[in-house]
Amino acid sequence: MESKQRIDKFNQENPPFYIVDHEDGEYSLCLPLDMLGDEYYPYCQDAFDAYAAEIGEPAYSHNGLKTHGSGYEWEAAFREAFKDDPNIGRILFDCEMGGFFCDANDLALLEDFGSRFKDICEDTERFIPIVSEGIKNAEAWEAEQERLMKTVRGQLMKNPSAVFDIMTPDGNIRLTTKESKALLDGEMQFIKIGGITFSAYELLNQEITDMQTDLFDQNLVRMKTDDPEETMTMSI
């Protein structure tokens, strides 16, 4: 089945969630809370109202708006729901007050997460504790997302259509879009830098010390990296 057909099928079966193809190798799972029609609004709000009651806050503010249930808190619930899923690390979040949005370079991954999350959040009894624990853990997750964006892995995830010229402590390397995807998907286990073969995850975890996009080619990114606290390990 073609990507468009798969996306259409997902969107028909999982409203109000839907997937968007950005046509650059990246897909987004979306829940625009500010744009939900009467059929879905307020969608799964009971769990967020329950959290407000748990911490002793009113469900509505003085101006009549809900105190909880922003896109950021939906992200917190999503992270909590899938905290033990190893693939959660392949998701990038781009949420706003009025909407939940997350990105990945793998359509099947978003289809799977999206359909499972819809089932979870529509089971109110199950969703209430997930929302509560997720919001409580949100600050730590936000710090982790910020740390991720300072690594090679994070930038490869954020820019799936870019070619990367990377200056590492062990030599220079150029990554094509195909190679970047293979690294992120775990299909490329090792990589050669400066004539020496290293474990791929060691490159992905390197910290970015400088980065800029080429002035004449927005899909070419140059970066300089340094080893994290644990140094790169050569393969045997």
pLDDT for 137: 94
Q: pLDDT tens digits for 115-125?
A: 999 999 999 99
d(CA 231, CA 227) in angstroms, rounded, equals: 6
d(CA 123, CA 116) in angstroms, rounded, equals: 11
pTM equals 0.82
* Distances, alpha carbon 69 to alpha carbons 18, 72, 73, 100, in Å: 18, 8, 6, 10
The answer on 101 and 135 residing in a single domain is: yes
Q: Is residue 231 part of a domain?
A: no
| Average pLDDT over every residue of 79-93 | 95
Burial 76-86 (b: 16+ CB within 10 A, else e): bbbbbbbeeee
| Average pLDDT over every residue of 79-99 | 95
Task: Identify the domain containing residue 35 by its residue range.
Answer: 3-148
Looking at 148, 182, 205, the residue that finishes a domain is 148
- The mean of the pLDDT values for the chain is 92
- What is the bridge-based pairing of β-strands 220-226 and 163-168? parallel
The answer on 221 and 177 residing in a single domain is: yes
The answer on 112 and 160 residing in a single domain is: no
**For residue 231, what pLDDT band results from cuts at 50, 70 and 90?**
very low
pLDDT for 236: 33
The answer on 99 and 189 residing in a single domain is: no
Residue 58, phi then psi, degrees to nearest 5: -70, 155
| Average pLDDT over every residue of 175-198 | 93
| Average pLDDT over every residue of 81-98 | 94
The answer on 207 and 121 residing in a single domain is: no
Q: pLDDT tens digits for 19-53?
A: 999 998 899 999 999 889 888 988 999 999 999 99
